[in-house]
Chains A and B, each alone.
Chain A
């Protein structure tokens, strides 16, 4: 192993991935890409192992290898040609959920297939029963949009028009989908071009060998981190509050078996799969487990499949952590993933408390909507990501209003949101006292109140934490939960979807018709606290009060000021 070459190549490939991301961001049409950055770019080898990625979404990074391996099993390597672009989004074949579309473009050097440039992006509108892709009341995969098995969307550099026609005929926003899909393809086009330069510069054998060395290095680094954790079996459970169909809770249960430099995360004991769309695919459960371990180990370890090798995941079929066809699953990647990651963190918190964090809000809000623009008469659809407070840690407060642990996405700025969509943002403010009290308090959530300016907007949502609370650690108190509230015509009392529209769940619903003048308030949950609130420094409490994070009442009664 040549450590200098390894570092040069790793840095170069990470830069390629970053460039791919910038290309995707700048050429995409939808705010989910160009504002929220809900995508990832990576380089994979011909075994489907990820050899490099950049600072994108942990959910997609962890799930990518399984998707790659699946596509390689179904489209043989000797049936892949220069200029092809492969695509699939099948959640049951290693995918994360229906909106996540993964593109693979082969990298050839010296006439041989060497690997793939990969882009994964969350397409906001995928057909199905609601505009925006998150039907909170889905009961089968066919409600959730168009499912694509591994196919070639471009063949030897020529667009496969038949595939494009089928995809674009089955979505509400074909113009936007076309633009976004082309952006994802442009990212892998650039990835292939840049990787080809690297191969030509250093030679194929050196690049391939160094990539293997890099994965072995990451494995060694991860094993060294795992060795620091005491051997043992550590259990933890958390709940998803309902599935949008039935008012019952679903358990995520993990036993983390740590032996030497190996970790086995066994989710046997988790609930059977749900009727509604909270089920996680195997790809989600694997990526959530990796995500948790990456959070509790050295962040400088190069992120590739090597660092996942010491981590084994057991997710029995037909459970909420490994859904079987044709049960719905769209919420698993955004709502259940954070729960799964949280159980691993919670399990290990007892033995590595300095590396753990109290529960975060564990939701992306998943507020989706669609309608016809009054002026342009064109259909619009949007997946609006909302963010949450993170849990307090042994050394710091939780992040305030940050994307949940599986994403690394941004909120859409008000200015862009109001120009693109017929809403007015009446309020967007941190919530005082929402962060779980602790020596290190939980990060706060926020309230975002919208007024509908269109004759009609159809909204749906797939979120959680309206009934359950983000747990605290080491004596820290739970963070506040969230809500979605409505005022018809802007008048009267705030009511939730159950009270006003007769839905089964306040946090998961489909196709509510919002009229001009109606208000929708998205209240986002906060993070749990870490440590006894009475141990929080008075200076910190006073600063919290001065900045509006904590009320004077709470400062006196909870923090003991």
Chain B
């Protein structure tokens, strides 16, 4: 969440690119910045797409 300098309004609602939860400033230490403006709430979400692909591959096998 990016608040204005005076804290009175939201400049941008910042969300995890994967699960969609809001990421506040206090959450930033746990979050992962993958570059290109893609922020993830944690490593689990960063890795989910790959994990999902692996699960589906195992499922079809």
Contact = CB atoms under 8 A, between A and B. Distances in A.
Contact of B59 (A93, A232, A285): A232
Interface stretch (A36-44, A108-116, A200-208, A309-317): A309-317
B59 A325 contact: no
A314 B19 contact: yes
Interface in B1-23: 9-10, 13, 15-22
Interface residues of A, number: 24
Interface residues of B, number: 19
Interface in A274-327: 282, 285, 312-317, 322, 324-325
A369 interface: no
A70 interface: yes
A314 B48 contact: yes
A285 B15 CA distance: 15
Contacts of A73: 24, 26
Contacts of A325: 10, 13
B17 A317 contact: yes
A94 interface: yes
B9 to A, nearest CB: 8
Contacts of B9: 149
Contacts of B59: 232-233
A266 interface: yes
A560 B10 CA distance: 62
Given A282-B21, A314-B19, A92 B48 contact: no
B55 A314 contact: no
A212 interface: no
Given A233-B59, A325-B13, A317 B20 contact: yes
A92 B55 CA distance: 31
Nearest to B52: A266
A315 B17 CA distance: 9
Contacts of A155: none
Nearest to A76: B26
Contacts of A314: 18-20, 45, 48
A233 B55 contact: yes
Contacts of A74: 24
Given A73-B24, A73-B26, A92-B13, A313 B19 contact: yes
Interface of B: 9-10, 13, 15-22, 24, 26, 45, 48, 52, 55-56, 59
Given A282-B20, A285-B20, 18 more contacts: A70-B22, A73-B26, A74-B24, A92-B13, A255-B52, A257-B52, A266-B52, A282-B21, A314-B20, A314-B45, A315-B20, A316-B18, A316-B20, A317-B15, A317-B17, A317-B20, A322-B15, A325-B13
8 contacts: A70-B22, A73-B24, A73-B26, A233-B55, A285-B20, A316-B20, A322-B15, A324-B15
Interface of A: 70, 73-74, 92-94, 149, 232-233, 255, 257, 259, 266, 282, 285, 312-317, 322, 324-325
